Amino acid sequence: MTERLYLFDTTLRDGAQTNGVDFTLADKLVIARMLAELGIDYIEGGYPGANPTDTELFGEDRGIAATFTAFGMTRRPGRSASNDPGLAMLLDAHADAICFVAKSWDYHVRVALETTLEENLASIRDSVQAARARGREVLVDCEHFFDGYKANPDYALACAETAYREGARWVVLCDTNGGTLPNEIERIVAEVTKRVPGDRLGIHAHNDTEHGVANSLAAVRAGVRQIQGTLNGLGERCGNANLMSLIPTLRLKREFADRFDVGVSDAALASLTRVSRKLDEMLNRSPDRHAPYVGPSAFVTKAGIHASAILKDPATYEHVRPETVGNRRDVLVSDQGGRSNVLAELARVGLTVDKDDPRIGGLLDVVKEREAIGYAYESAPASFELLARRMLGTVPDYVEVIKFDVNVEHRINALGQRVTATVAVVKVKVGDDEPLISAAEGIGPVHALDLALRKDLGRYQDYIRSLSLTDYRVRILNGGTEAVTRVLIESTDADTGDTWTTVGVSPNIIDASFQALMDSIVYKLIRSGATA
């Protein structure tokens, strides 16, 4: 017999507090729909009245297929509920639920709110009543609950109980500073459940001691039945509890999967990696390579000793199957690894080669040679795959580059302003067709080259429309401006969410970048099944 556990996403509200994150209205709607598709029960859209975006978001019915929630403050101290413009705005919001934030640490009530403990309880009571009277489902976030409990348990409990008794569907215990450890969370939640039933309690954890996920699960163990978190752990300071880690653990680890149901289906779980990457892309951030479950390196093995065991049985080195979360296994090829790494990688990309094929030795030698001059195939599996396919003779001659030219000019314009103009020209030949020549202006030389190169590839143009560059990394391998430059380019296919990394090496940063750009395009053409 399983119990229902509810997921509450606050990416659009608490996640919007992340340093450097600034959602537009369109962003919020795309993300809200993505969350609803994922099977999240509650989606907190924002704080109507706090800024124009959030006010507009709640200005009409958005048809989000989840409990769409507006966040706001309880009524201000010393005012009646009917005479508080902030509360009125919240009650007027087009939302299925209202989540009030309420102080529950006596010190904060006095210092930050500058009111009495009694008035704060009255404010909770009046606000819950007002929202219920408008037919809304009500949640109350008890801010600083755990610090408050440690300072004055009776008062913290009184806040929680007031919300519960007035009919709040959920009383959410917030570790606002993120400083509480799992054992404390478990102990305090267990105390709270003596006054408010666990199936009316939620947990809102932050990651300031790297326990955002552990604290959320500790609270579930102690009885709460709602978890608040964000996509990719977005949030102020060190972020909120990371739903991208919580969801797979709840679905795939028996301790939780045997006891609880969540609204995320198997199919939705298999979209998790794509959802994570999509958010990063919208925020123009590189994915966290090492993120649990959904990171590009989450199922990547480097060691030679492990690689041979993985070939024998992948399950021996994986705690869950990468496919269940839409991620994939990868074995890195590098100087450190050996033949078995290469074979495993070839098998993964669908190249079947006999393990005694002499070309394997040749490929290993070329990898070593090229790594010695600066290539890093373990960081650029797509370039490794191309190298292997070329040595095995399975890469069509799609495109020949006849020339490229890039120019950066810095000057003082007619208005006396300093301006820099960057123009690239690329000339390519596709099969026996007439050469194609394209030009583009860019923000910098690599940007201009990328635009010019992808402007017209003739018959292949359709294959590369969904391709975009999502990360560009440069490493100088010796000292000085004469040093060898390694460029790593990460590309993303907007249609599939796939990402891949390619590498280029040259003393000239432009040459190195161009190599990596070309590899990325050829890789995409192979993946799309384009023929010469």
Q: Which is nearer to its own copies, 217 or 430 (CB)?
A: 217
Residue placing its CB nearer to its own copies in the complex, 37 or 236: 236
Among 27, 161, 357, 471, binds its own copies (CB under 8 A): 471
DSSP string over 463-477: HHTTEEEEEEEEEE-
The rounded radius of gyration (Å) of the Cα atoms in the chain is 28
Q: Which is nearer to its own copies, 84 or 490 (CB)?
A: 490
Q: Choose one: 62-70, 153-161, 472-480, 518-526; the region binding its own copies (CB under 8 A).
A: 472-480
Listed ranges 75-83, 84-92, 166-174, 467-475: which one lies at the site for its own copies (CB under 8 A): 467-475
Minimum distance between the CB of residue 441 and its own copies, rounded to whole angstroms? 11
Residues 51-70 that bind its own copies (CB under 8 A): 51
Interface residue with its own copies among 15, 46, 49, 442 (CB under 8 A) is 442
Q: What is the largest distance, in Å, between two alpha-carbon atoms of the chain?
A: 84
Query: Is 444 a residue that touches its own copies (CB under 8 A)?
Result: yes
Nearest distance in Å: CB 378, its own copies: 7
39: number of Cβ within 10 Å: 18
Judged on CB neighbours under 10 Å (0-12, 13-18, 19+), 416 is exposed
Site for its own copies in 218-247 (CB under 8 A): 218, 221, 233, 235-239, 242, 245
Say which residues have a Cβ less than 8 Å from residue 480's Cβ, sequence separation at least 6. Answer: none
Nearer to its own copies, 196 or 382 (CB): 382
Nearer to its own copies, 64 or 239 (CB): 239
Residue 209 makes contact with its own copies by CB under 8 A: yes
If one asks whether residue 526 binds its own copies (CB under 8 A), the answer comes out as: no
Site for its own copies in 337-396 (CB under 8 A): 376, 378-379
Does position 217 interact with its own copies (CB under 8 A)? The reply is yes
Q: Are 103 and 109 in contact (CB under 8 A)?
A: yes
Rounded Cα distance between 269 and 291, Å, is 16
Of residues 79, 328, 475, 527, which one binds its own copies by CB under 8 A?
Answer: 475
Query: What's the min distance (Å) between Cβ of 217 and its own copies?
Result: 7
Strand 436-442 versus strand 418-430 pairing type: antiparallel
Query: Which positions from 249 through 308 interact with its own copies, judged by CB under 8 A?
Result: 249, 253, 255, 280, 284-286, 288-293, 295, 297-305, 308
Q: Is 420 in the site for its own copies (CB under 8 A)?
A: yes
State the minimum distance, in angstroms, from the CB of residue 185 to its own copies.
Answer: 11
Residue count, binding to its own copies (CB under 8 A)? 126
Nearer to its own copies, 170 or 404 (CB): 404
Indicate which single residue of 60, 258, 266, 313 sits in contact with its own copies (rule: CB under 8 A): 313
Asked if 182 interacts with its own copies (CB under 8 A), we say yes
Instruction: Tokens 């990328």: give the residue.
Output: 450
* Sign of the torsion formed by the C-alpha atoms of 334, 303, 253 and 210: negative
Report how far apart, in Å, the C-alpha atoms of 358 and of each of 181, 353, 392 are. 56, 10, 11
- Is residue 210 at the binding interface for its own copies, with CB under 8 A as the rule? yes
Closest CA to 476 of 521, 441, 512: 512
As measured in angstroms, the least distance from the Cβ of 387 to its own copies is 18
Binding mask 7-26 for its own copies (x = CB under 8 A): ----------xxxx-x----
- Could you write out the three-class secondary structure of 370-406? HHHCCCCCCCCHHHHHHHHHHHCCCCCCCEEEEEEEE
- Shortest gap between Cβ of 332 and its own copies (angstroms)? 6
**DSSP H helical ranges for 69-211:** 85-92, 106-111, 117-133, 145-151, 153-165, 182-192
In DSSP terms, 419 is beta-bridged to 411
From start to end of 195-349, where are the E strands?
201-204, 226-229, 260-261, 300-301, 330-331
CB of 469 to its own copies, least distance (A): 5
Q: Which is nearer to its own copies, 158 or 446 (CB)?
A: 446
Burial 355-392 (b: 16+ CB within 10 A, else e): eeeeebeebbeebeebbeebbbbbbbbbbbbbbbbeeb
Per CB under 8 A, does 101 bind its own copies? yes
Considering only residues 115 to 174 of the shown chain, the ones binding its own copies according to CB under 8 A are none
CA 125 distance to own-chain centroid: 37
